[in-house]
Structure 1
Amino acid sequence: EEDHDHKLVKSEGIKSVLTLPILFQDTIIGMLRLLTRKKRVFTVDEISFSMALGEQVGIAISNSRMFSEMENQVNFMKEVQELSNLVSSSLDLSIILDTIVERLPQSLGCKGCSIRLLQSQSNQLELVASHGLSKMYLERGHVEHEKNVEAALSGDPVSIYDVSHDTRIIYKKNMEEEGIKSLLSVPIKAGNDVIGVLRILSDIAHFFTSSEINFAVTAAEVGGVAIRNAKTYLQITLLFNQIEENERFLANILDCIRPQLLVVDKDKHLILVNQVLQEVMDCSENDLLGRHYDALWKDRDYEEADCPVNKVLNTGKSATFTHKMFQNDEVYWYERTASPMIGSDGEVEYVIVVIRDITAKKQLEEEQLERVKLQGVVELAGTVAHEINSPLFAALGTAQLLEEDLEDQALIDDVKTIVRNLKEIGVLTKKMTSMTGFESRDYVGDAKIVEIK
C-alpha cells in the first residue's frame, strides 16, 4: 500500500507536504494538508499561519455542522408533526403502518423500512408492514435473537454502520444480497410498553446521527400510540360486530326491533354507535362520535344521579335505569342498561350502553293493573250486592204484605213508596253483579264516586 501511495504522490508531482490538524475547542475534527510541486522547507511563520488557518477552518466547519444539525432537527420536527397528523387521522391499522414504513426511509434517505409487532400470546415478532424490501429478504427467518433486536425490545435504539462485520447481525448474507449496508433499529413504544421494533435499512454506508436517531425514536413512539389506538378501535369494532350478530340472531327469533347501542370512554365521549341509534337521533355516525353522552339526554326527564353510565364509572358494576320521554305529545318509556368494559388495570375503560324502547311493555303493565283494579271492584261490588240483597228481599216482602193489610190510604201510599225504592235498590244490586267496568267521576268537594258500566 505504501508503494502504491508513493506512486500516486509521484504521479501527481508532489514534492513536499505539510500536514496540520483542524482543531475546534482543542478537539481534532479533521486534517489540513498543503502540497507543493517543488521541494520546500516550510518556515515557522508559514506553519503558524497554516495552524491559524486550520483553526479558522475548524470553526467554520463546526458552525456549518451546527447549522446543518439545527436545520435537520427543524426538518425532523416538521416531519414528525406531519407524520403524527397522518397517523392520527385514521384508525385503520394497515393505513397507519403503511404510512410509517413509507415516510421514514424517505425522510432519512434510506432504502427501506420494516415494522414487527410483538404478539401477546407467542411473545414473538410478527412482520406487519414493510417498504422497499424484497419478499425473499423479509422471509429469511426469525429475528428475535438478533442482538440489535433484543436491544430495541429492551427500549434502546441501535445504530449499525457496517452490517457485514457487526456481531449484532445474524443474517449477514441475506443483507448483502439485499444490498443493505447500514441499519437503525428502534423500539416501538405505546406509553411505557415496547410493542414492537422498527428497522430502517440503508443501501449505502450511513452513519446515523443523534438527530436522525432521535427522529426515528420519536416517530416510532408516535406510531406506537397510533397503533395501540387502532388496535383498541379494532377490538371495540369486533366486539360491536359480535353484539350486532347476537342482536340480529335475537331479532330473527323474537321478531323485534334491535335496541340502540353505544360505547363511551371514561370521559363519557361516544366512540361507537350502531345504526339504530343514528336513526333514532336522526344524526350520522360522524355527528355522534366524540359527542358527550349527557348531551344526548339534556332535555330528558331524569336526574343526573340516576344516569347508569355514572353508576358504572363510579362502582364498576352494571346499572339499569328506566325513564320516560315526550315525543310528539306522546309518552315513551326507555330502559338504559350500562355494562362496564374492564381494562388490564382493573379499572373501567369503556361503558357499553343498550337502550330499549319498553313503551309497549309499560302499556301492557298498565293494562294489567287496570284489569286487576276492575277485578277487585267487580268482586267487591258482587260481595256488597250479595250482602244487600238478603235484607233487601226480606224488607221488600214485608212491605208488600203490609201494603195488603193496610186500609188507610195515606199509609198505603207511604208503603208503596218504600216498595218502589226497595225495588230500585234491587235494580242497583243487579247492575253491581253484572258490571263490566267503571268510571270515576267527581262528587261533592274532593270526593269521587264510581259510575258502574
Structure 2
Amino acid sequence: MTLLQEQKYIKVFQKVTKLTSMVLDHQQVMDTIVRSLPDLMAVDAATIRLLDAETGQFVMGAAHGLSLEYLSRISIDTDETMEMIRSGYPVAKTDLDQEFSHNDQKLVQSEGVKSILTLPIIFQDGIIGMLRLLTRDKRIFTADEISFSMALAEQVGIAISNSRMFTEMENQVDFMKEIQELSTLVSSSLDLSAVLDTIVERLPQSLGCKGCSIRLLQSQSNQLELVASYGLSETYLQRGDVENEKNVEAALSGSPVSIFDVRQDNRIFYKKNMEEEGIKSLLSVPIKAGNDVIGVLRILSDVSHCFTSSEINFAVTAAEVGGVAIRNAKTYQQITLLFNQIEENERFLSNILDCIRPQLLVVDKGKHLILVNKVFQEVMNRSENDLLGCDYDGLWQDQDCMREDCPVDRVLETGKSATFTHRILQGSDVHWCERTASPMLGPDGGVEYVIEVIRDVTAKRQLEEEQLERVKLQGVVELAGTVAHEINSPLFAALGTAQLLEEDLENQDLIDDVKTIVRNLKEIGVLTQKMTSMTGFESREYVGDAKIVEIK
C-alpha cells in the first residue's frame, strides 16, 4: 500500500469515526454511514443489514443508492456467500450480473450491480450484521481495500453497538417513566375501557410505531376478542380470526415475538392485509394476569423496525400492567355485581317484609334492633333509622309486659320459640298483642338472632269475649225456660183451684182475698210466659250492691 493510499484511508477512517461519533441513535449511525461511504470509498451504493437474533436472518437496517425493488428481494446472496459472512469472512465478487447461480439474477441485472464487497460487522467476536459496498462498474477490490473495509466495518460495529447501548439506556429511562405513568393510571382508575385505550394509544407513540391492538381470550369460546385498538383501520381489524397465526400462538404460550419483515415471515398469516395497511414490522407480547395468559398485545410499525430488547421488555411490562388493570377491573366488576345482588336481595326482602301485615322485628343477642318492617314503624310512629340499633327493652317500658314474660328473653335463655299475649296502651284505647319469638341459630348452635312477630289480637279477644257472653246467655235462657216450665204446672193448678174457690165463697172479705191471689197467680203466669220466650237479658242496679235481671 502506498503512502498516498494510507493517507486516504486514514482520512476516510477519521471521517467515518467523526460522523458516527456525532450521532447517538443507532439508526442515524447506520443512515450516516451508508450515505457517506459511497463518496469516501468511491462506490455507487452501500447497505447495512443487522442480524435478527430471533430468526437468524439479516434484516435491512439502512441503504443508499439502490432501488426499493432490489432491496426487497427475497435472497440477499448465494448460500456460500452468506455462510462465509456468518463465519466472519469478507466476500468480494466481480461480474455479479453474470453469476447465474444467484436466485434474483434478473433483479441484479436490472439494478446494474456488477461488483460487491460484503463485510461482516463484528462486535466483541460476534456477528451483528453485514456491510455491503456495491458498484455499477466492474471493480476488483484489492487486499488492502478489503482489509481497510474490514477495519471500517469493525468500527461501524462499534459505533452501532455504542449507539444501541446509549439508545437502550435512554429508552429504558423513558420506558420506566412511561410504565410509572401507566401504573399510576391503572391504580387510579377502574374503568377498564379507558385504561386499555390509554395503553394502545401511548405504546405506539413511545416506540414510534403506527398502531397497537389488544385482544383478550374469551373463557367460553377460547377465541380472541378485540377490546382496544389505535392507529389501525376497521378493515384491517376485521380481517378475520388471528388465533392460528404463529406469532399469536407464541404470544399465547407466554413468549414475546418480534418480526422485522412481515412480508417474508411465515409466522404472519394475513400478509396481504398487512401490506394494504402499510405494516412492515410487528411485536406481539402476551398479556398475563398472574401466571395465566389472558390475551395478546400487538404493536405494529409502518417502517421496518428491529425491536430492541429494551423495547420488547417495555412492551412486556406494559402488557403486564394491562393484565393488572384487567384483573382489577374484573374484580371490581364482580364486587360491584355482588353488591348490586346483595342490594337487590335486600330490597326484595324488604319488600316482602313490608308486605307482611303483622309487625316484624329482628333482635341480635345484645337485644338491639337490626331489622324492622314498615308495619312496625307505623305502629311505633318512628322511622327505620330511628328504630335500628335501639334497645329492645326500651320499646316496652310503658306496656303491660313483665320481663319474665318477654318472649325474646325466653328465646335467648332457652333457645326455643315462645309466645305471650299482653296489653298495649295506645292513648285511651287498650289493645291486646300476641308476640311470638323464634330463634336464629349461629354456627355454634347458639342463638344469634331472634325474630319476633307481633299480631294485634284485640278483635280476636273481643270476639272470644262475645262468644263467652253468648254461651252465658244461652245458659240463662235455657235455665229460664226450665224454671218457667217447672213453675207453670203448679201455677196453673193453684190458679184453677183459686178460681173455683172464688165461686163457692160467700163472704166478701174472703172473696176479695181470693181475687188478690188469682191476680197474683196470673201475673206469675205472665212472668213464666216471658221466661219461656226470653232471647236475652240485661242486668241493672237494684237496692244496695244487688243487681236484678231485666228480661228481653
CA spacing shift, 1:248–1:74, aligned 2, 3 Å:
same
> Given the alignment of the two structures, is residue 121 of structure 1 paired with residue 220 of structure 2, yes or no?
yes
Amino acid at match of 2:313: N
- Distance in 2 (CA, whole Å) between partners of 1:18 and 1:176 is 32
CA spacing shift, 1:48–1:368, aligned 2, 3 Å:
same
Kept in 2, the 8 Å contact 1:157–1:185? The answer is yes
Kept in 1, the 8 Å contact 2:370–2:389? The answer is yes
1:145-294 alignment runs, 5 A limit:
145-255=244-354
Amino acid at match of 2:131: M
Task: String of CA shifts for 1:41-70, please: whole Å, max 9, x gaps.
Answer: 9685x8766655554444333222211221
> Given the alignment of the two structures, is residue 144 of structure 1 paired with residue 243 of structure 2, yes or no?
yes
Kept in 2, the 8 Å contact 1:114–1:131? The answer is yes
1:52-451 alignment runs, 5 A limit:
52=151, 54-255=153-354, 333=368, 357-359=388-390, 361=392, 363-364=394-395, 370-371=401-402, 373=404
CA spacing shift, 1:17–1:198, aligned 2, 3 Å:
closer
SS in 1 for 2:220: coil
Structure 1 residue 374, shift from structure 2 partner: 7.6
Kept in 2, the 8 Å contact 1:182–1:201? The answer is yes
Structure 1 residue 132, shift from structure 2 partner: 1.3
Amino acid at match of 2:241: H
CA spacing shift, 1:17–1:132, aligned 2, 3 Å:
closer
Partner of residue 131, structure 2: 31
Count of equivalent residues: 282
Task: String of CA shifts for 1:347-392, please: whole Å, max 9, x gaps.
Answer: xxxxxxxxx934265545778894354899x9xxxxxxxxxxxxxx
SS in 2 for 1:164: coil
Amino acid at match of 2:345: N
- Distance in 2 (CA, whole Å) between partners of 1:81 and 1:322 is 51
Structure 1 residue 6, shift from structure 2 partner: 8.6
SS in 2 for 1:80: helix
When normalised by structure 2's length, the TM-score is: 0.44
Structure 1 residue 175, shift from structure 2 partner: 2.0
SS in 1 for 2:287: strand
- Distance in 1 (CA, whole Å) between partners of 2:318 and 2:198 is 11
CA spacing shift, 1:223–1:166, aligned 2, 3 Å:
same
Amino acid at match of 1:159: S
Instruction: Provide the aligned C-alpha RMSD in A.
Output: 4.0
CA spacing shift, 1:117–1:53, aligned 2, 3 Å:
closer
Structure 1 residue 232, shift from structure 2 partner: 0.3
SS in 2 for 1:130: strand
Amino acid at match of 2:228: A
Kept in 2, the 8 Å contact 1:98–1:129? The answer is yes
- Distance in 2 (CA, whole Å) between partners of 1:62 and 1:358 is 74
Structure 1 residue 117, shift from structure 2 partner: 1.2
Unaligned runs of 5+ in 1: 257-319, 325-332, 337-355, 379-453
- Distance in 2 (CA, whole Å) between partners of 1:144 and 1:41 is 51
CA spacing shift, 1:145–1:42, aligned 2, 3 Å:
closer
- Distance in 2 (CA, whole Å) between partners of 1:241 and 1:364 is 33
Structure 1 residue 22, shift from structure 2 partner: 4.7
Structure 1 residue 26, shift from structure 2 partner: 3.2
Amino acid at match of 2:290: G
- % identical aligned pairs: 72
Kept in 2, the 8 Å contact 1:323–1:335? The answer is no
- Distance in 2 (CA, whole Å) between partners of 1:114 and 1:154 is 18
CA spacing shift, 1:231–1:370, aligned 2, 3 Å:
same
Structure 1 residue 143, shift from structure 2 partner: 1.7
Task: String of CA shifts for 1:206-227, please: whole Å, max 9, x gaps.
Answer: 2222111111111101110111
- Distance in 2 (CA, whole Å) between partners of 1:174 and 1:34 is 34
Larger radius of gyration: 2
Partner of residue 312, structure 1: none
- Distance in 1 (CA, whole Å) between partners of 2:298 and 2:177 is 21
SS in 2 for 1:189: strand
Kept in 2, the 8 Å contact 1:87–1:99? The answer is no
CA spacing shift, 1:195–1:65, aligned 2, 3 Å:
same
SS in 2 for 1:129: strand
Kept in 2, the 8 Å contact 1:32–1:54? The answer is no
Kept in 2, the 8 Å contact 1:116–1:197? The answer is yes
- Distance in 1 (CA, whole Å) between partners of 2:212 and 2:220 is 25
- Distance in 1 (CA, whole Å) between partners of 2:140 and 2:268 is 50
When normalised by structure 1's length, the TM-score is: 0.53
CA spacing shift, 1:49–1:105, aligned 2, 3 Å:
closer
Amino acid at match of 1:181: K
- Distance in 1 (CA, whole Å) between partners of 2:267 and 2:154 is 39
- Distance in 2 (CA, whole Å) between partners of 1:252 and 1:58 is 79
Amino acid at match of 2:388: D
- Distance in 1 (CA, whole Å) between partners of 2:146 and 2:281 is 40
Amino acid at match of 1:99: T
Unaligned runs of 5+ in 2: 1-69, 71-95, 98-106, 356-362, 372-386, 407-419, 423-552
CA spacing shift, 1:137–1:50, aligned 2, 3 Å:
closer
Amino acid at match of 2:203: L
- Distance in 2 (CA, whole Å) between partners of 1:362 and 1:121 is 56
Structure 1 residue 95, shift from structure 2 partner: 1.0
Kept in 1, the 8 Å contact 2:116–2:132? The answer is no
